[in-house]
Amino acid sequence: MKTLVCSQPGLLEYKEMAAPVMEKGRAILKIKRIGICGTDLHAFEGTQPYFNYPRILGHELAAELVDKDGNDGFSANEIVTIIPYFNCGTCIACRNGKPNCCASIQVSGVHVDGGMTEYLSVPSYSLVHGGGLTTDELALVEPLSIGAHGVRRAGVQKDEFVLVIGAGPIGLGTMEFARIAGANVIAMDMNEQRLAFCKEALSIQHTINPAKEDALNRLREITNGDMPTVVIDATGSVRAINNAFQYMAHGARYVLIGLQKDNISFSHPEFHKREATLMSSRNATRTDFEHVMYCMKQKLVQPSNYITHRCSADEIKEQFESWLDPKNGVIKVMTEWG
């Protein structure tokens, strides 16, 4: 079967590999769609934490169920997606209902090989019923769930001001689910094209470009001098993360969805006097997947807004590097398999 392998940073190679065979506790999928995410792009660049090479990328997927061990409501030929964070089920995080941060987690396409192949074997417990959603929609459930989880972690309340920094796919999804929670959303990014997307596609009223305006003053204007009570980083930039501590209101919560390799540095007195809360948000849970799928079905989220580029499986290697260039206006690339 045809497989696309990231052999080392900057190098993708098509290879022929043996198809997976059925094993106990597993399911075999025929891949239909793979969305390209920041993890894939960072892996190609060589900047992705928790990563080693060679690796088959891809965990935002929709697929046809070919075969499955056991009979628990799934049927052959059903269109499904997966929760691509494979957990042990026994560690303290799993026992406490947080399999998304399992102590020995294996994320598809990061720690173990992912979906850029014709057929993929996954743990049966990772399957999610398609529920009538299209393959495009199902391949977008996982990235939108990342943002939904971050919003849930923050405990976003109706009418509070939520600043989301970074208007990439994860940040955009975060904005959507903060809006659905009833918040007043503020989008911050240095890319004018993406800020325009926030206004036009997501109906975000307040946008800030810190490269062109005084962000602190704009935030004071928007919040009537109070500053945001929730700040969420979706950039993965250490400079942006460190800089955003100053944007918190007293009593605010700061959630880090974005991930980078360096140390975080901030003023303890400034943080302390706010009695602020700092938390990370990793992956998502089945609850988040179900919430996203419900919102899709209720048309509260329009998945088609996110797909700006398409290509076939055969074209990925040739086009992949171009998706890193901000000039190309990539929000989400959807690759078509099968």
Position 262 scores a pLDDT of 87
pLDDT at residue number 70: 80
pLDDT tens for each residue of 86-99: 999 999 999 999 99
Q: What is the mean pLDDT of residues 220-231?
A: 98
pLDDT of residue 143 exceeding 80, the answer is: yes
Q: State residue 286's pLDDT score.
A: 98
Residue range 90-119: mean pLDDT, rounded: 97
Question: Which residue ranges form the domains of the chain, and what is each CATH number?
Answer: 2-130+306-336 (3.90.180.10), 147-280 (3.40.50.720)
pLDDT band at 3 (very low <50, low <70, confident <90, very high): very high
Summarize the confidence of residues 278-304 as an average pLDDT. Answer: 97
What whole-number distance in Å separates Cα of residue 185 and Cα of residue 20?
45
Does pLDDT of 76 surpass 80? yes
Report pLDDT for 260: 84
Provide the whole-model pTM. Answer: 0.95
